[in-house]
Structures are given as C-alpha cells and as structure tokens.
A and B are shown apart, each in its own frame.
Chain A
Amino acid sequence: MDQTVNRGIRLNRVKGRARAWMSKPANIILLVFLITLTVLTLYPLISLLLETVTIHTGREARAAKLAAGEFSFYHFQRLFLTKENDYSWIQFYQPFLNTLIISLASSLIAILFGGVVAFLVTRTNLKYKKFVSAVFTFPYIMPSWTLALFWEAFFKNVNIGLKTSNGIMAAVFHVYMPEWFVYGAFPIALVLGLHYAPFAYILIGGILRNMDANLEEAATILKTSRPRIIWRITLPIVKPAMLSTFLLVFASSMSAYSVPVFLGSPVRYYVLSTKMKSLMDSYPGQAYIIVAVMILFGVAILLLNQKVTNSRKQFTTVTGKSGQISKINLGKANRPIAILLVVILLLVAVVPLLTFAMESVIIKAGDYSLSNMTLDFWIGTDLEKRLDQGDSTGILLNPKVWNALGYSLGLAVTCALVAGTCGILVGYGVAKRRGSKLASWVNSLSFFPYLMPSLAFGAIYLAMSSKIPWLRGFLLLGLVGSVKYLPFASRSGVNAMLQLSGEIEEAAVITGVPWWKRMLRVIFPIQKSSFLSGYLLPMVSCMRELSLFVLLVPTSNTILTTMLMQYSEKGWAQFGNAINLLIIIVVLLVNFTVNKLTGASIDKGVGG
C-alpha cells in the first residue's frame, strides 16, 4: 500500500519536473537545435568519411581496378603514398605545404596591417580617422576575389601566366612585372591578408578601445616611456586578441578558394582547396580525403581558439570601463602617416572598382585609349556580329544575368532569414541556460560550420544530396547557406542576449506575457541592431559566396558568382568584370541601406 503511494509520488515528481523543464521555451529551443544541428553537421560529416573509403564509378573505379561502390582504403594509399611520377607530392604534399605557407603569411599580414591601423585609430591623434575607419571594413564587405582580380588585371602581361594580354601596368606604364609578383604565393597571401585585415582591426581595436586608461596612466605615473608602455602594457593586453585573429584568419585563408583559383591556377600553383576542386570530377574519393584533412585542421584551430579566448576573458575582467584615454601625439609624422594610409585604402578599396569599370568597357585588352571603349558589354545588342566570343547582349540586357541576380538575391534573403532567426533563437536558449551542458553543446554545434571550409562544406552536402533525391536546387543551396552562416548569426545572437539582463524578460513573465510576445515586443526591440547584424552578415556573405555553392549549383548560370567564374574561365574578361562590378555594387548597396535604416553593421557580427 505504502509502496504504491510512494510510486505515485515519485511519478508525480518526475512528471512535475519534466513539465517544469518543458514549460521553459529556452529548453525546447535548445533541444530542437541539438537534434537539427546534429543531423545537419554530424550526418554530413559521417557521410563524407564514408565517401573516402568508397570506390566511385568512372575513372576512379577503372584506375583502382575495383568495382564501384566497393569498400577500400585505395584513396588513402593513392593520395598519401604514391611515389610514382611524384603523384602524392603533386596532388597532396605540395598543395598542403602551399596552404600552410599562404595561411601563415596572410595571418601575419592581416594582424600587422589591421593591428597597426587599429592602434593608430584608437590610440593616436591620427588625421582622417573617420575616413580610415569607414573604409577599412570595405575589403571584407567586398568579395575576396575582388582584390585578386584587380591584382591580376593591373599587373598581368603577355610574358607570364596565361600570356593572353597586358594589364594596365604593362600597357600604360610599360612595366612588366615578374611572374612571382603577379601569380603564386606572394599575391595570394597579400590579397588574403588585406581581405581579412578588418578581422584584426575589429578584434584588436575593440580591446584597445575598451582598455582601461588607468592601466597605461599607472605606468606613466611610474615614469615609463611611451614605447615601453606600448611594449610592456598595451601589447600584452591585446595579445589574446591578436592570437584570436591569427587563428581566425588562418582558418579562413586555408579554406579560401576563389583567390588561389584566380592568382594560383594560371601558373599551376595549387593549394588544398583548388586541388580538391580539380580532383572532385575524376577522383572524388581523394578529393573527400582532402576535405577531411581541411576539417581536421579547422577543428584543431577551433580548439586552440577556445583556449585562447578563455584566457582572454581573464583580460577583459581586468580592464574595466574606460575613462578618458590619453592619445599619443604623432606630431610631424601625423600627416605623412595619414596620407599613406588613405592612399593604401584607396588602392585596396576604391581603385579596384574603377579598374573593373574600366576593364568592362574596353574592346581590345591592353588598349586604354578612348577609341577602344564601348558600353556594349553592359547594354549592347547583337554582339555576336562584332565580337568573336562572348554573349550576344550586354549583361544588363541579358535575361540570364537578371535571372541569376534574382536567384542570388532570393537565396541571400532566404539564408539570412533562416540563419538570422535561428541565430537569435540559439542566442536566447544559450544565454538563458548558460552554464548547462545542453547550452554548451548547442553553442559548439552552431559554431561548427564555421570550421568547415566552404568548399568542403559544399562537397559534403553534394555527397549527402546524392542520397536524398528531393534535396536539390534552391532547397539545397538555401539549406547549405543557412547552416554555413549560422555561426555568424548565433554569435551575434548569443552576445546580444548575454548583454540583456534576465530581469528584463522576467518583468514581462510576471504579468503573463506569452513567450512569442516577449520575444517580439520586449527582447527584439531592445537588441534590434545586434540582431539585425545577425541577419545582415549572412545576407552579404551569401550574396558574394562562390566556393560554398560552386559544387552545388544546377548550372553555372544559376547564381551571379558562378556565372562570373564561368565567364572568367572562358576568358570573357569584359563580361566578367561587368558582372563582378554588379555583384559588388549590390553587396555594398544592401550593406549600406541596412546600416543606414537600422544601425546594424558588419563589424558588430564579425569575429567577436
């Protein structure tokens, strides 16, 4: 009798506890995301690993002399251990080494450039500060290949690379740059370094800006010299941010695809990502192994980064809210430094756009006289009568371009809506249940896609979609984009939610405001600009994304970026440049409209 009563009580307790658990929206959200993200990240990962031990039909099966679909370690043996004709060296070890060199070099360039500018802007009385800080994030907003294409267009000549035509440097100034300067490791590292320098600028600048002035003043009182203060006080404090930047840029450069394709492939300089793409068609098994290697690297970097950012928290608690920061007087050096900086930024951010505009209107490459210019590539018709290659209409009259633009925009908006909303929900769940195991799992899972190189991520979903017949076209691209950009959105979501004291929501709970209304009427309006940044970043990234989608698009005319890629491969330079300009303008337009209307901005979401 007693036992049955006890059992009843125990059952009630369990039921009550379960009901209490389920009555909190944060718990349900976390549970749903735990399951969905596990399926969307772990399942593809497993299917990828299976691909590396499966023989695929076609050339692969013939070369391996095995039946398609058979289980075998042939790919590993072939890719890693084949000495014959230096196969392994050419296909794997050389590109691997190149990847390391480029990632390392670009990280250093990014930290040096971004860090120095961050210091100048936050800690000195530099002139033109407003302009510098406004233009500095440009290179990140623009597609990464922008600079690559600009570099090539500016410096190429008939002696090197594909030996097709002269760029501005050779045609106008008659300076013929050597091959190492125009193609290969040097320009790739430089371009990537400049592209990711805003990371360093935002991360390091954030720390410098919030650093307690007392820390430096205390040293000044103790009669420490300026350089010594910078060396012994300021640098150690920003060191964690520098390490964090290093790892982020390293990971991003490692997975970069478009820059090495434009600046490396013409001289057969390969990195892991470009090698993987070229292997994908004929030897997918080996390509998938390269993907696995890249992911392994990414995970290692994430773990390192987590270690670094954990110790960074200790630093930020040391530095409190800053008072008046004493600025270093640059004195006579001020103007020259400021002008140099402005010139560099113009070269990096503005001149490329002018170059693309220029290149898109000249008829015969290398001839920059007015008589050689035409708007045909933008608005011309019946071009096949006048040109020996290219489309028959200018891009603005070409329905294919408009279709692709529409598709790109639709895709970007979809990904932004899905990723941004999920990011807010993840942020809500993680912040509410902060410290619980469930929250930290979901937090890590939602960051995992960041580690997967875009091209690799695309490759995995390609492998997965081959087994799921309905996962095709827009649905597939939208899904990939949403998952891949979730880390951006969830990061800004988590940050925004952590800033909000729990009491703000509880004050509404007490009066019985339902959950959805609390989100819409209380939480969202307060953190509007942070949340909107969580939408903006996926949108902008998606609009200019190439490597993630390049393997997955049904035809290369589907989205603008793959269309650009196709034109560039065919050598239709003018059409390519015009489309490139179109993409950049759309991206900048979206960014600035959202920024002006809502106050959301890219730098609120990047890194952090």
Chain B
Amino acid sequence: MPEIILKNVSKRFGKFVAVDNLNLNIESNSFITLLGPSGCGKTTTLRMIAGLETPTEGSITIDGKTVFDADRGINLPPNKRDVGFLFQNYALWPHMTVYQNIAFGLENLKWDKKRIQERVKELLVMLRIEQFEKRYPSELSGGQQQRVAIARTLAPGPKVLFMDEPLSNLDAKLRMEMRTELKRLHRDTDSTFVYVTHDQLEAMTLSTRVCIMETGVLQQYAPPLEMYNNPANLFVADFMGNPTMNFIDGHINAGGEVSFGGMKARYEGKEQIGEKDVVVGIRPEYIHIDEEGAREATVYSTLPSGMETTVKLDVNGTSLTAVVFGDVDYPVDAQVKFSFHKAAVIFDQATGKNIGRGKLTLL
C-alpha cells in the first residue's frame, strides 16, 4: 500500500521552469489525476516520480523509501522504484508478439519460464485478449493495443501505476469503455494509480483526488466534486465543468448586496466578504428556467442534446449559459424567467482567488 510524497519538487530546463516547488501527498490506494492544459508540467511531474526525468530540486518518497533527494544526492533508477508506466502511444515493441511484449519485462526480472507463462496467461484472460497472443501489435486495433499495453504494464505487479494520457488515442466510444475498465482495474489490482490527462471529464469521473496545475504551479489538490463545487480560483473553476461556469464581473457592498451584469442579488454565505470588486461564478445547471423565475431573459440560442439542453440567455446584454435537463427546447428570442439555485462562488477580481461560496437571491 504505497504512499507517494513529493516535497518541494522543481524541474527546470535551462531557464524554463516546468514544475515549480510542488508539494503533493498521494495516499496509498488512491487514484490521482494530474490535470491541466498542455505544457502545465503534469507529464513532467509523472515522469519525475517514475524516475524517467531527474528533478532539479526537492525529494520524492515512495512507500517510505526515498527514491530521490537532491540534497542527499539520492536518485534511484526507474526499475528500482517498483512502478509501472503506461504510455500515451502504448510504446508496444512492434517486432515482438503480444505474448513476447508482455513476457519481456518478466524475463528481465529473471522469473522462471513456467511462472512467466502462467502470469502472461492470467493477464491475457484478465484483459480479454487471449485470442491475440501470437499477433504482432500492428495487427491489432487501437483498443486491443491499449489492452496489451496495460497487460504489459501490470505484468510484474507494480504497486504504483503511472498513466500518461493513455486513452487520448482512442475513439470516443472506446474511451468510455476503457474508463470503466480502468476504474475496475484500480480496485482489482489494489495499487496506487497516478493518471495524467488534459480532459477534465476523465479526471472528474475516474479519480479519488485531482491535482490541477497551470504553468508548473499546483492550483488545487482536492477530490473531484469538491473541486467542482468549491474551486480554489478562477483557473480551476474555468477548467472544471462543461459547459463552463458563467463568470460575471461585479461589485459587492458591505451589506452583502452584489451588483453584476445589470442584476442585483443578495449574497448569503459563511464567509464575510466586505466591500470589494468581485467575479461572480455560477454553474450553468444552477440557473433554473421556469415560471417562478425572479427575472426575465431572452433566449439567444439553444443546443438540445436529448438528455439536456444548453440554453444561452441574454439579460440586458449580459450573456448567461444555463443547462436544462430533459428534452426541452425554446424558440429563439423567446422570453423566459430564471433564478439562481444552490451555491454561487465569489472570486476576488484582483487575485482571482475564491473568497466565498453561498446562495445568491435575485432582487
């Protein structure tokens, strides 16, 4: 049950800072996602933990064993860290059959032949690729290659499994399927998963905790739903959720009255904010359209998808995105009423930080 601890880890390539003073505590048995736009340092972080990249500073501990410490000059090679790594392009060796691909790593660990055979068989069954045993990677479909890559990674039974955008090369349908299998695999293998992706939906659905990064700096490290409902700053709020959160510049006075986008509302939350320029953040699904709504708006356009409909509203020149569940649709330019439900998030306009979360009642 390994636990991974990163302390003050930095990585610089010349003057470019890829990862800046990262502190991270990955609990054993968790499924952690490193999330962020491309170039934010998430892959570098993963590769540093795996030992494929050497950090410039800091220390990394896996399962109580220090695998890297810049100050003490410790740096264990990847194969001494007891980890598995699943690559984005699978990195299957094209000149070896499926069997050989899976067995190659075990041969290096000097397992005896019989044990290797049994283990490979076990994995082939587990990932449902028995019939492809003798095929070469080029003779397999993308999804099958992916399964072989997973089997190869799991073969030595690593306690920690690293995955670098393993699903990004699959089509949408297969990706859904593999997601559920990965989640199941996490339970069955009883190991710690660290997963890199730029897809917020993947991070939301898969992980027990999400670590979101931007330009090498950690933005928030929290369970996905907490991150969704209570984002630490504008960047996180914007990155999580699709359609994205509505952001409207506004001002809050000492009495808790917010004026934004031509609207006025009363803010009730735990945090006392005081008088400030703020950004009001409202999730689309918390904007309800019905007859009881407190305010009128014009329908600018609608995107019905069957299960839900995304409605773009125009409120005196301020545009709001709302999501209505069910197969409803509105004619363009229709007049509707809306109100805010559940919590809105208030961000400091100057710093972009989350300064309060609470109910907004339209006045």
Q: Are B73 and A507 in contact (CB under 8 A)?
A: no
Q: What are 26 A-B contacts with C-beta separation under 8 Å?
A: A13-B73, A16-B70, A16-B75, A19-B75, A504-B91, A506-B52, A507-B85, A507-B92, A507-B152, A508-B105, A509-B79, A510-B50, A510-B85, A511-B79, A511-B108, A511-B109, A512-B78, A512-B79, A512-B80, A512-B108, A513-B104, A517-B108, A521-B104, A522-B93, A525-B95, A526-B94
The answer, yes or no, to whether B112 is at the interface (CB within 8 Å) is no
Given contacts A9-B72, A504-B93, A511-B156, 14 further A-B contacts (CB under 8 A): A12-B72, A13-B71, A19-B73, A20-B75, A23-B77, A503-B87, A503-B88, A508-B104, A508-B105, A509-B52, A510-B79, A511-B79, A522-B93, A526-B95
The answer, yes or no, to whether B84 is at the interface (CB within 8 Å) is yes
The answer, yes or no, to whether B74 is at the interface (CB within 8 Å) is yes
A390 to B89, CA, bound (A): 66
The answer, yes or no, to whether B54 is at the interface (CB within 8 Å) is yes
A160 to B75, CA, bound (A): 77
- Contact indicator per residue, chain B 202-232, by CB within 8 Å of chain A (1) or not (0): 0000000000000000000000000000000
The answer, yes or no, to whether A317 is at the interface (CB within 8 Å) is no
The answer, yes or no, to whether B237 is at the interface (CB within 8 Å) is no
A517 to B109, CA, bound (A): 13
A501 to B52, CA, bound (A): 14
Task: List residues of chain A with CB within 8 A of the CB of B70.
Answer: 13, 16-17
Query: Out of A9, A506, A512, which one reaches B71, CB within 8 Å?
Result: A9
A16 to B74, CA, bound (A): 6
A17 to B68, CA, bound (A): 11
A523-574 residues at the B interface, CB under 8 angstroms? 525-526
Q: Which residue of A lies closest to B88 (CB)?
A: A503
A517 to B79, CA, bound (A): 14
Shortest CB distance A282–B (Å): 55
Query: Out of A9, A15, A501, which one reaches B91, CB within 8 Å?
Result: A501
Q: Which residue of B lies closest to A15 (CB)?
A: B73
The answer, yes or no, to whether B83 is at the interface (CB within 8 Å) is yes
State the main secondary structure of chain B at its contact with A: loop
Question: Which 9 pairs between the two chains have the least Cβ-Cβ distance?
Answer: A512-B79, A16-B73, A511-B105, A503-B91, A12-B73, A503-B87, A507-B91, A525-B95, A20-B54
Q: Which residue of B lies closest to A513 (CB)?
A: B108
- Contact indicator per residue, chain A 489-518, by CB within 8 Å of chain B (1) or not (0): 000000000000101101111111100010
Q: Are B89 and A501 in contact (CB under 8 A)?
A: yes
Tally of B interface residues using CB under 8 Å: 31
A11 to B99, CA, bound (A): 47
A15 to B85, CA, bound (A): 28
Interface residues, chain B, CB within 8 Å of chain A?
Answer: 50, 52, 54, 69-75, 77-80, 83-85, 87-89, 91-95, 104-105, 108-109, 152, 156
Shortest CB distance B276–A (Å): 44
Task: List residues of chain B with CB within 8 A of the CB of A503.
Answer: 87-89, 91
Shortest CB distance B127–A (Å): 17
Task: List residues of chain A with CB within 8 A of the CB of B152.
Answer: 507
A525 to B101, CA, bound (A): 14
A204 to B188, CA, bound (A): 56
A526 to B152, CA, bound (A): 18
Task: List residues of chain A with CB within 8 A of the CB of B95.
Answer: 525-526
Q: Which residue of A lies closest to B77 (CB)?
A: A23
Q: Which residue of A lies closest to B74 (CB)?
A: A16
Q: Are B87 and A507 in contact (CB under 8 A)?
A: yes
Q: Are B84 and A510 in contact (CB under 8 A)?
A: yes
- Contact indicator per residue, chain A 22-62, by CB within 8 Å of chain B (1) or not (0): 01000000000000000000000000000000000000000
Task: List residues of chain A with CB within 8 A of the CB of B109.
Answer: 511-512
Q: Which residue of A lies closest to B100 (CB)?
A: A521
Task: List residues of chain A with CB within 8 A of the CB of B52.
Answer: 506, 509-510
Shortest CB distance B80–A (Å): 8
Shortest CB distance A23–B (Å): 7
Shortest CB distance A439–B (Å): 14
A501 to B50, CA, bound (A): 18
Task: List residues of chain B with CB within 8 A of the CB of A510.
Answer: 50, 52, 78-79, 83-85, 105
Task: List residues of chain B with CB within 8 A of the CB of A522.
Answer: 93
Q: Which residue of B lies closest to A21 (CB)?
A: B54
Most B CB within 10 A of own CB, among A16, A501, A522:
A16
Task: List residues of chain A with CB within 8 A of the CB of B105.
Answer: 508, 510-513
Task: List residues of chain A with CB within 8 A of the CB of B93.
Answer: 504, 507-508, 522, 526
Q: Which residue of A lies closest to B156 (CB)?
A: A511
Task: List residues of chain B with CB within 8 A of the CB of A16.
Answer: 69-70, 72-75
Query: Out of B71, B77, B80, B156, which one reaches A12, CB within 8 Å?
Result: B71
Task: List residues of chain B with CB within 8 A of the CB of A508.
Answer: 93, 104-105
Shortest CB distance A386–B (Å): 60
Task: List residues of chain B with CB within 8 A of the CB of A12.
Answer: 71-73
A511 to B95, CA, bound (A): 18
Task: List residues of chain B with CB within 8 A of the CB of A23.
Answer: 75, 77
A32 to B318, CA, bound (A): 66
A506 to B70, CA, bound (A): 22
Task: List residues of chain A with CB within 8 A of the CB of B91.
Answer: 501, 503-504, 506-507
Q: Which residue of A lies closest to B152 (CB)?
A: A507
A190 to B333, CA, bound (A): 78
Task: List residues of chain A with CB within 8 A of the CB of B94.
Answer: 526
A507 to B77, CA, bound (A): 13
A503 to B71, CA, bound (A): 29
Task: List residues of chain A with CB within 8 A of the CB of B156.
Answer: 511
Task: List residues of chain B with CB within 8 A of the CB of A513.
Answer: 79, 104-105, 108
Shortest CB distance B323–A (Å): 38
Task: List residues of chain B with CB within 8 A of the CB of A9.
Answer: 71-72
A16 to B77, CA, bound (A): 12
Q: Which residue of A lies closest to B93 (CB)?
A: A522
A511 to B80, CA, bound (A): 9
A76 to B278, CA, bound (A): 80
Task: List residues of chain A with CB within 8 A of the CB of B108.
Answer: 511-513, 517
A470 to B150, CA, bound (A): 57
Shortest CB distance A529–B (Å): 12
Most B CB within 10 A of own CB, among A12, A503, A504, A508:
A503
Task: List residues of chain A with CB within 8 A of the CB of B72.
Answer: 9, 12, 16
Task: List residues of chain B with CB within 8 A of the CB of A506.
Answer: 52, 78, 85, 87, 91
Most A CB within 10 A of own CB, among B87, B91, B109:
B91
Task: List residues of chain B with CB within 8 A of the CB of A509.
Answer: 52, 77-79
Task: List residues of chain B with CB within 8 A of the CB of A19.
Answer: 73, 75
Task: List residues of chain A with CB within 8 A of the CB of B80.
Answer: 512
A565 to B81, CA, bound (A): 63
A539 to B146, CA, bound (A): 41
Shortest CB distance A157–B (Å): 59
